[in-house]
């Protein structure tokens, strides 16, 4: 199966180059930008219109921390599914023999949508099926394509890992063929940091894919067009 994984398009979805012959497209959240739920709803509707129009057989979606109107249920899962899109919120689906599980949650950072303390996240990740082939989360696992630039209260810059530690542990246990996530973009603040792309981990069969299409400090632009991955089971 040929998969296109994208994430963090932040209203710039129409700028994405969609390759031919894709069997499954996965978006792992943050298709909107604005926090205000009413403005956010308009952004999410525009994205869903575009996503549903793509000439791709299977379309799977999870939300992200920016997608506040999805958490507020101004747009319901049923409405998304009625557009021919599979929406996953701590749930799974089987597509052509592949068991796919998805969740929108990320570690707490500010007051955004779908955020939980690490202890609560562990309870969510424990519901990932042991036989999952593909796991889709908005959050990255700790230590995998999740490095970001930040600053102390006094302005002192530093880099930190932003992924979920308990998610990393669960992925290591399950070892799905593919783990798709986003949330942490490339960054040109400070030294340029590359997070978008794929990576393998020694001793694991899992392909880790950060599908982020945005770069911090370059808002309004698409700096990656996602990752194309071919898998067989």
- Condensed to tens digits (0 to 9), the pLDDT of residues 46-56 reads 999 999 999 99
pLDDT of residue 220 exceeding 90, the answer is: no
> Which of 197, 192, 194 minimizes the C-alpha distance to 207?
197
The correct CATH number of 2-230 out of 3.60.21.10, 3.40.50.720, 3.30.565.10, 3.30.70.20 is: 3.60.21.10
Q: How far apart are CA 93 and CA 90, in angstroms?
A: 11
Q: Closest by alpha carbon to 15, among 152, 220, 163? A: 220
In this prediction, residues 91-103 reach a mean pLDDT of: 98
| pTM summary value | 0.93
Q: pLDDT tens digits for 187-219?
A: 766 567 788 899 999 999 999 999 999 887 677
Predicted pLDDT at 191: 65
Instruction: Identify the pLDDT of residue 88.
Output: 98
C-beta of residue 176 within 8 angstroms of C-beta of residue 209: no
Is the pLDDT assigned to residue 164 strictly greater than 70? yes
208 within 8 A of 199, measured Cβ to Cβ: yes
């Amino acid at each position: 199966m040929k998969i296109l994984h994208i994430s963090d398009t932040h209203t710039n979805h129409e700028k994405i180059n969609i390759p031919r012959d894709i069997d499954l497209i996965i978006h792992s959240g943050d298709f909107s930008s604005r926090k205000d739920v009413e403005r956010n709803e308009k952004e999410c509707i525009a994205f869903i219109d575009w996503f549903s129009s793509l000439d791709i057989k299977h379309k799977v979606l999870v939300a992200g921390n920016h997608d506040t109107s999805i958490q507020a249920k101004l747009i319901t899962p049923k409405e998304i599914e009625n557009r021919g899109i599979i929406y996953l919120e701590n749930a799974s689906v089987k597509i052509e023999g592949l068991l796919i599980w998805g969740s929108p949650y990320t570690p707490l950072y500010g007051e955004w949508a779908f955020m939980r303390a690490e202890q609560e996240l562990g309870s969510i990740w424990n519901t990932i099926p042991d036989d999952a082939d593909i796991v889709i989360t908005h959050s990255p696992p700790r230590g995998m394509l999740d490095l970001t630039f930040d600053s102390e209260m006094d302005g002192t810059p530093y880099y930190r890992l932003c992924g979920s530690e308990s998610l990393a542990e669960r992925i290591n246990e399950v070892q799905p063929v593919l783990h798709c996530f986003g949330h942490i973009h490339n960054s040109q603040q400070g030294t340029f940091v590359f997070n978008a792309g794929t990576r393998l981990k020694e001793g694991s069969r899992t392909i880790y894919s950060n599908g982020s299409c945005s770069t911090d400090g370059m808002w309004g632009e698409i700096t990656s067009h996602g990752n194309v991955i071919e898998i067989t089971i």
